[in-house]
Amino acid sequence: MELLQLIIGGLANGCIYGLVALGFVMIYKASEGVNFAQGDMMMLGAFIALGFGNSDEMGLPFFIAVILAMVLMFGIGWGVERVVVRRIFGQPQFALVILTIALGFVFRFVAGSIWGYTPLVLETPFAGQNLRGGGIVISLADLVTIGVTLVLTIALWAFFAFTKIGLAAQAASQNQMAAYIVGVPVMRINSLIWGLSGAVATVAGVLYATRGAIDPNIGLLGIKAFAAAVIGGLGSLPGALLGGLIIGVVEPVAGRYAPGELAKMSPYIIMLIVLVTRPGGLFSQIQMKKV
Amino acid sequence: MSLLEVQDLAIHFGGVKAVDGVSFDVAPGEVFAIIGPNGAGKSTIFNLISRVYNPTRGTIRFDGQDITGLKAHDIAGLGIARTFQNIELFDHSTVLDNLLMGRHTHRATNFVQDILFLPKVRREEREHRRRVEQVIEFLELEAYRKKMIAGLPYGVRKVVEIGRALAIGPRLILLDEPASGLSVEETRDVAFWIEDMRRDMGLTVLMVEHDMSLVNQVSDRVLAVANGQPLALGSPAEVQAHPDVMAAYLGTGAAA
């Protein structure tokens, strides 16, 4: 029973890692590089939702606040590509790494100067509600997190697999020149993907905030989510989610049953094992690129 | 009236005049070849027409419309398709998906219709698939339909790229060295296909090619370029007999 309880909590945690990892994968596909500000975009999205929704701020209804935050973060992601990332197009991948690490600092500073560094709680309709059955307790927040993640992952998968824009994005990530020549506006698609990844990060941030207080440094979770994306194989959306779930479940289980600090190391130990045994990740679709 | 008119086209990379004052026009239904030694600027002319590069000066008109200011992704929609000397395919997709991607500009359904897979989307999808199957049949790619590009031999990939260009449903097709790296038999197939593209599909073909037997066999007119400048324009025989062209190829130093 205890193990089951740990696993359910771990799955919910893993969903959040998975959602941030989805953002890594989308941008990796679009810009051929890693967006190390992904965790900070999650943080910023959560704070923007808090700004719109909390009763001592703008006090909008929760769902409207979340949707507005997603729209705003879409705009921020889109703008980052348009104004900053596009300028380093064609530069070595490392340029994007440094650029996005810097962006992460900027986002943290912006959030800190608006909302301060003391942890704040996002007011949600699911706070403190639990479901009981068969000796285990599931918080409504966990259940919502798992449900929303499932729906969002399926929606994103359908978007990339079936829609004209989604297929164009896949084409552009495989070969930009070929994409241009069949009529794909590659640059516009890249901006869109960055926007989409901002919106997904917001969902991750809001789900994170349903489970505890937030402060401008929660974006560091992005490093764990990056491990999740690598475990899944950087180019695969389902792989990213699976990587997140693995890390999410192993962490609390290791925390309970394994000695000392092993729980904190576990995501990276798993990443190392995967990199050694399957360098392309569990769902390797694309050829491995050095990141 | 010409389908493609290129006037005084030039592009300079720093001090290098890769293309410098090239003019020609291609009539509808014509097979037009550009020849010249390596580094003459032939592929650069293609990159200018397909809007990958912006010219330093000159204009490009397609079907009477000035396309010099358009973007690379606008060209397919106008009915211009191309292949690349170094093959640019979606390597981690199947042959079928590569060809279907050629139909991109013809997809008229919107996002919501796509997600819901409405009857209209299904109808359109069937039509695209039918067009792609015609291309597969034409190029005899049946055996490779579901194969990933990354594992295919060079010659097949080359044909798939021609297939994707045809799937676009173009009026003008630009072939960048369609015979390079191909065996004698494969080159003979390419010659037949070019004939058929013109005769059965009503296409206009502009190609860059080194294989003079292919050029002689299929082209109506030939433009020879060297060092970015035009040397001679005329029938294949005329151009090959031109003293400047012979000098450019044989390097007697007598070139203009």
Distance between alpha carbon B235 and the CA centroid of its chain, in Å?
20
Task: Please report how the helices A237-257 and A140-162 are oriented relative to each other, as an axis angle in degrees rounded to 10.
Answer: 150
8 Å CB contact of B72 and A180: yes
| Cβ–Cβ pairs < 8 A, chains A and B | 71
Report the complex ipTM: 0.89
The rounded Cα B206 to chain-centroid distance in angstroms is: 6
B90 to A162: CB separation less than 8 angstroms, yes or no: no
Question: Looking only at Cα atoms, what is the longest distance across chain B?
Answer: 67
| Tens digits of residue pLDDT in B65-77 | 999 999 999 999 9
pLDDT, position A264:
85
Mean pLDDT, rounded, of chain B = 91
Tokens of A233: 């194989």
Residue B93 half-sphere exposure toward CB, CA atoms < 13 A: 25
CATH of B73-177, one of 1.10.260.40, 3.40.640.10, 3.40.50.300, 3.30.2270.10: 3.40.50.300
CB atoms within 10 A of CB A233: 24
Q: Quick one: which H or E segment has residue B153?
A: none
Residue percentage of chain B with pLDDT more than 70: 98
Q: Is the pLDDT of residue B256 over 50?
A: no
CA distances from A168 to A78, A163, A173, B122, B177 (A): 17, 8, 9, 18, 27
- Chain B CB contacts of A158 under 8 Å are 115
From CA A222, how far away is CA A92, in angstroms rounded?
Answer: 22
Residue B253 has pLDDT above 80, yes or no: no
pLDDT of residue A237: 86
pLDDT of residue A285: 54
pLDDT of the residue at A284: 67
**Quick count: other Cβ atoms within 10 Å of Cβ B8?**
12
The predicted model gives B162-179 an average pLDDT of 95
Q: In the predicted model, is pLDDT for residue A290 greater than 50? A: no
**Amino acid at position B31, single letter:** V
CB B150 within 8 A of CB B90: no
Q: What is the DSSP string of A90-118?
A: TS-HHHHHHHHHHHHHHHHHHHHHHH-SS
Q: Residue ranges of the domains in chain B?
A: 1-25+55-69, 73-177
Banded pLDDT at B29 (limits 50, 70, 90)? very high
Nearest-CA residue of chain B relative to A180?
B73
Pick from A158, A167, A286: CB nearest B92: A286
> Out of A18-32, A191-205, B41-55, which region has the weakest mean confidence (pLDDT)?
A18-32
Stated pTM of the model? 0.85
Q: Is the pLDDT of residue B133 over 50?
A: yes
The token pair at A106 is: 């900027």
The residue ranking higher by pLDDT, A195 or A93, is A195
Give per-residue pLDDT as tens, A238-263. 899 999 999 999 999 888 888 878 88
Cβ pair B75:A178 closer than 8 A: no
pLDDT band at B247 (very low <50, low <70, confident <90, very high): confident
Q: Which positions ≥6 away from A37 have C-beta within 8 Å? A: A80, A100, A101, A103, A104, A107, A219, A222
N residues, chain B? 256
Q: Which helix (H) or strand (E) holds A87?
A: none
Q: pLDDT tens digits, residue range A259-282?
A: 878 888 888 999 999 888 888 888
* CB contacts, 8 Å: B72 with chain A: 180-181
Phi, psi of B61 (to 5 degrees): -120, 135
Tokens standing for residue A231: 């475990």
DSSP-assigned beta bridge partners for residue A131: A138
Under 8 Å between Cβ of A112 and A51? no
Q: A175 and B71: CB-CB below 8 Å? A: no
For chain B, percent of residues with pLDDT exceeding 90: 75
Nearest by CB to B115, which of A163, A168, A287?
A: A163
Burial class (CB in 10 A: 0-12, 13-18, 19+), A98: exposed
Question: In B, which residues are within 8 Å of A285 by CB distance?
Answer: 92
Phi first, then psi: give them for residue A13, nearest 5 degrees: -60, -45
The SS3 assignment for B221 reads strand
* Diameter of chain A measured on Cα atoms: 60
